[in-house]
Structure 1
Amino acid sequence: MSYNIYHNLKIKASVNEVFDAVSQPEHLNNWWTLKSSGTPKLDSEYNLNFTDEYNWYCKVSKVELNRTFHLKMTKSDKDWNPTTFGFDLESIEDGTMLKFSHVNWLEANHHFKHSSFCWAMLLNGLKNYLEKGIIIPFEERN
């Protein structure tokens, strides 16, 4: 059995803007990572750096320009390693419906539950970044 995290949210921005914000390192650094690198192409490696202790790697497992972007963890902590997270985008009348998933957790343990909460907070930060231009300094992100 595996456990999954799902969050859907409307963002008043185009699918192109949302896709860039979830796939381009210069945007990821504005709402999620301390520093990141990678290219949104199938099997491309991403480095997601949060601190020296949390310097993780993943590969693009699914990508379709302005529609979907998923990353499979390859080097992280034991709870995240078997997981894949992604963003599926749908154009709606006043912007984009973002359908987030983080799947294949082995346990519904504390880390799983904490990560679900953190994703909700981070996705709200993504929404504020795209809609209002707000960049929360890395040290202040929870």
Structure 2
Amino acid sequence: MEKIEHINYIKAPISKVYEALTTREGLGNIWTTDLTVQNEVGAISDFGFGKDDRVLMKITELMENTRIEWLCTDSDPEWIGTGVSFELFERKNGITAVVLKHFNWRELTEFYQWCNYNWAMFLLSLKDYCEKGEGLPYQEREF
């Protein structure tokens, strides 16, 4: 099994980073503006990326200001059954460390590599949103 793993440091309180990762407003500013999000374990969040590209994520874990985990229930076949987690750690001077993992990939493919790059872009968008008030959702990116 393959796993994508990134870390980024954000100059913002841990509560602000957690909120960005668990609310419609936050995820709409950092990942995609086409979304339906519920902030409770067992709920399915729906993320849209273009005309027919949808990602359904079941929330499997929510530990306030600590950890978020999703299970992909529908998307590209390579994503179905994979998990995405965000672990948050408070550092000195108001810095929050975010560890993003996308795990249970069946194999390392070209799509895996492209997603690896895009998760790094996601973390940069999260950083900009939390620090500057403006992220870069899918609809505003150039590909």
The alignment's TM-score, normalised by the length of structure 2, stands at: 0.92
- What is the aligned partner in structure 2 of residue 72 from structure 1? 71
Q: 1:1-142, aligned counterparts within 5 Å?
A: 2-94=1-93, 95-136=95-136, 138-141=138-141, 142=143
Aligned residue for 1:71, secondary structure, equals strand
CA RMSD in angstroms, aligned pairs only: 1.3
Cα distance change, pair 131–58 in 1 and its aligned pair in 2 (3 A): same
Match of 2:125, as an amino acid? G
Alpha carbons of 1:134 and 1:82: their partners in 2 closer, same or farther (altered >3 Å)?
A: same
Superposition TM-score, scaled by structure 1 size: 0.93
Gaps of 5+ in 1: none
- Decide whether the 8 Å contact of 1:40 with 1:69 is kept in 2: no
Give CA-to-partner distance per residue, 1:52-78, whole Å, 9 cap, x none. Answer: 311221101111111111110001110
**What is the CA-CA distance between 1:137 and the residue it aligns to?**
5.7
CA distance in 1, matches of 2:107, 2:137: 31
- What SS class does the counterpart of residue 12 from structure 2 fall into? coil
- Percent of residue pairs bearing the same amino acid type: 28
